[in-house]
Amino acid sequence: MKGEQRQFKRTLVTTALPYANGPVHIGHLAGVYVPADTYVRYLRKKGEEVLMIGGSDEHGVPITLRARNEGISPQDVVDRYHKMIRQSFEDFGISFDVYSRTTSKIHYETSAEFFLSLYRKGEFIEKTTEQYYDEEAEQFLADRYITGICPRCGNPRAYGDQCEACGTSLSPTELIDPHSTISGSVPVLRKTKHWYLPLDKYEIFLKEWILEGHTEWKTNVFGQCKSWLDLGLQPRAVSRDLDWGIPVPLENAEGKVLYVWFDAPIGYISNTRELFPNDWEKWWKDEETRIIHFIGKDNIVFHCIIFPVMLKAEGSFNLPDNVPANEFLNLEGDKISTSRNWAVWLHEYLEELPGKQDVLRYVLTANAPETKDNDFTWKDFQARNNNELVAILGNFVNRAVVLTGKYFEGKVPQGGELTDYDKEMLVEMAGIRKAVEKLMDTFHFRDAQREAMNLARIGNKYLADTEPWKIAKTDMLRTATILNIALQIAANLSIVFEPFLPMSMERLNKILNISSFPWNRLGAADLLPAGHILGIPELLFEKIDDATIEIQVQKLLTLK
């Protein structure tokens, strides 16, 4: 069992629930959704049974703050952003089987049932503590509703949970001169009762399950889990005093809701139930199903420690098999900040660079922050588009198809005897499947995409070395052999790139006049039979000029 890899019949992939108090940006896409979608598309192409679950996280204090600031209801806020987020994912080809939300009726029911299951088993600790209360507003104050002077750096606008000036995590009682952001009054401490999940009770289990049983996890994930466990775990509240959220399903619990960290991961379960009301349990409770959580590094503790404890305490659910969390993506050397608008928003990208979804998918995978933070720059975006997508992948496909049109009327030619160099090219092509699979299966998507692009490089080198446009003057059989091989490489590119560049590969399939080949045909040299008629040539990608990039750079510089 220690680090052992077992075979499963099906795979459930979950993606971190984006918070519905704003649109999504490239950091979200790079950290979670592009790698998850790439992996799911790969498994589907292999013919495996796989399910991709997503949804919006719609509870918590930031949503109530935005609603209060805008003079609207929290439901108005989440309705607006849930729709915007879902549309952005659809536009970028993120192929969820279901994308739902945590304000759905079935989510309320599932969360309440889960809470009651743990409550009836005696898993919670009931504890009364003192928390700040606004006597004017007549309500307990969530951490973000309290501001004061940071005891570390003196910032006068520190929040009750964190000082954004120095980054220090705080508790409300540490603030100097605290004030309520609702009424401006000085809050008072008042006793309140909450329910706590005793994480410390499960420390031994977690150490065995993670530190001994999952040594194959990514180093950044394993290391963060070990740090948490080495420091020792403490009970964590699963409820809070708030009027926006899922009510605690107990008598005498008025004004108390489930803490958002508790109800949000249950959204994976409720969204599965929404999709398969009568068959959802096989995805969560059948031992032949493995669960993979795609998240960012800020969610590692929730998905590797807290949610597994919840599932273990409930007793009937599978635990995750892997949590391939990514680190953060920075923007032009600076941390992405939604409050400063320092971000590339997906909906704006689509308006300003229409039709270039796959370009962004490619660049974000090439720069994926897989084990450490990485940086997105517009100059690199331009260079990768022009020097790789256009000059390598697009150029090779176009040359192969155009030359076939010129010399063989757009039909795949019947080749002749193969030279040693031809055979060498076909051996390299045949090896691509094993190389890519090894990387995809271990969540190394950046390297897997690089291997895919290497096949296009092989194709370009082959055409450059054999020069069929010269040979056509004297030897059409040899020209036919060269172009047949080139077209087989192009057809293989349509397979290997489909998980990475789904929209572009649809266009490539039209250019080659083929349906999508299954994954197990990757590496084959007979994908296109002699006489097969190709489609109309077109450029897969187009160059992005300096002026286009300068507009994006200047847009960011105005925020400095």
Give per-residue pLDDT as tens, 343-359: 999 999 999 999 999 99
**pLDDT tier for residue 491 given thresholds of 50, 70 and 90:** very high
Mean pLDDT of the chain: 95
Kindly give the pairing relationship between strand 289-294 and strand 10-15.
parallel
Q: Are residues 297 and 312 in the same domain?
A: yes
Amino acid at 47: G
pLDDT (tens digit per residue) in 277-336? 999 999 999 999 999 999 999 999 999 999 999 999 999 999 999 999 999 999 999 999
Q: What is the mean pLDDT of residues 170-193?
A: 91
Q: Is the pLDDT of residue 461 over 90?
A: yes
Gap between the Cα atoms of 511 and 538, Å rounded: 7
Instruction: Give 160 or 18, the one with higher predicted confidence.
Output: 18
Range of the domain at 130: 126-192
Q: What is the model's pLDDT at position 136?
A: 87
**pLDDT tier for residue 392 given thresholds of 50, 70 and 90:** very high
What CATH number does residue 176 fall under? 2.170.220.10
Residue ending a domain, choose from 192, 227, 245: 192
The answer to whether residue 478 is domain-embedded is yes
Could you tell me what percent of the chain has a pLDDT over 90? 88
**pLDDT tier for residue 4 given thresholds of 50, 70 and 90:** low
DSSP 39-81: HHHHHHHTT-EEEEEEEEB--SHHHHHHHHHHTS-HHHHHHHH
The answer to whether residue 91 is domain-embedded is yes
How many domains, in total, are found in the chain? 3
Gap between the Cα atoms of 239 and 245, Å rounded: 10
Those residues with Cβ within 8 angstroms of residue 415's Cβ, 6 or more apart along the chain or in another chain? 477, 480, 481, 482, 484, 485, 530
Q: Are residues 114 and 223 in the same domain?
A: yes
Q: Are residues 81 and 106 in the same domain?
A: yes
Q: 124 near 196, Cβ under 8 Å?
A: yes
pLDDT (tens digit per residue) in 492-530? 999 999 999 999 999 999 999 999 999 999 999 999 999
Q: What is the model's pLDDT at position 137?
A: 79
Gap between the Cα atoms of 244 and 74, Å rounded: 7
Residue 205 backbone phi and psi in degrees, to 5: -60, -45
pLDDT (tens digit per residue) in 102-155? 999 999 999 999 999 999 999 999 999 998 998 987 788 888 889 999 999 999
pLDDT (tens digit per residue) in 432-450? 999 999 999 999 999 999 9
What CATH number does residue 391 fall under? 1.10.730.10
Those residues with Cβ within 8 angstroms of residue 322's Cβ, 6 or more apart along the chain or in another chain? 214, 216, 217, 290, 292, 293, 443
The answer to whether residue 425 is domain-embedded is yes
Q: Which residues of 274-293 are buried (b: 16+ CB within 10 A; e: fewer)?
A: bbeeeebebbbeeeebbbbb
**pLDDT tier for residue 62 given thresholds of 50, 70 and 90:** confident
Structure tokens given for 495: 């397979």
Q: Are residues 227 and 295 in the same domain?
A: yes
Gap between the Cα atoms of 475 and 487, Å rounded: 19
Could you give the dihedral angle defined by the CA atoms of residues 438, 381, 387 and 374, in that order, rounded to the nearest 10 degrees? -40
Gap between the Cα atoms of 260 and 236, Å rounded: 12
Structure tokens given for 251: 């008598």
Least confident of 74-78, 145-149, 270-274, 321-325: 145-149
Q: Which of 483, 479, 457, 480 is nearest to 470 (CA)?
A: 479
**pLDDT tier for residue 5 given thresholds of 50, 70 and 90:** low
Q: Are residues 445 and 510 in the same domain?
A: yes
The answer to whether residue 551 is domain-embedded is no
Q: What is the model's pLDDT at position 106?
A: 98
Q: Are residues 120 and 268 in the same domain?
A: yes
Can you list the positions of beta strands (E) in 70-160?
A: 98-101, 125-134, 139-140, 146-149, 158-159
Which residues is 148 bridged to in the sheet?
A: 158
Gap between the Cα atoms of 404 and 58, Å rounded: 54
Q: What is the model's pLDDT at position 1?
A: 41
Could you tell me what percent of the chain has a pLDDT over 70? 99
Q: Are residues 321 and 305 in the same domain?
A: yes
Q: Are residues 56 and 172 in the same domain?
A: no
Q: Decide: helix, strand or coil at residue 200.
A: helix
Q: What is the model's pLDDT at position 448?
A: 98
Q: What is the model's pLDDT at position 109?
A: 98
**pLDDT tier for residue 2 given thresholds of 50, 70 and 90:** very low
The answer to whether residue 30 is domain-embedded is yes
Q: Are residues 220 and 171 in the same domain?
A: no
The answer to whether residue 258 is domain-embedded is yes
Q: Are residues 47 and 84 in the same domain?
A: yes
Q: What is the model's pLDDT at position 560?
A: 66
Q: What is the model's pLDDT at position 540?
A: 97
The answer to whether residue 346 is domain-embedded is no
Q: Are residues 442 and 496 in the same domain?
A: yes
The answer to whether residue 353 is domain-embedded is no
Q: Are residues 36 and 149 in the same domain?
A: no
Which residues is 139 bridged to in the sheet?
A: 134
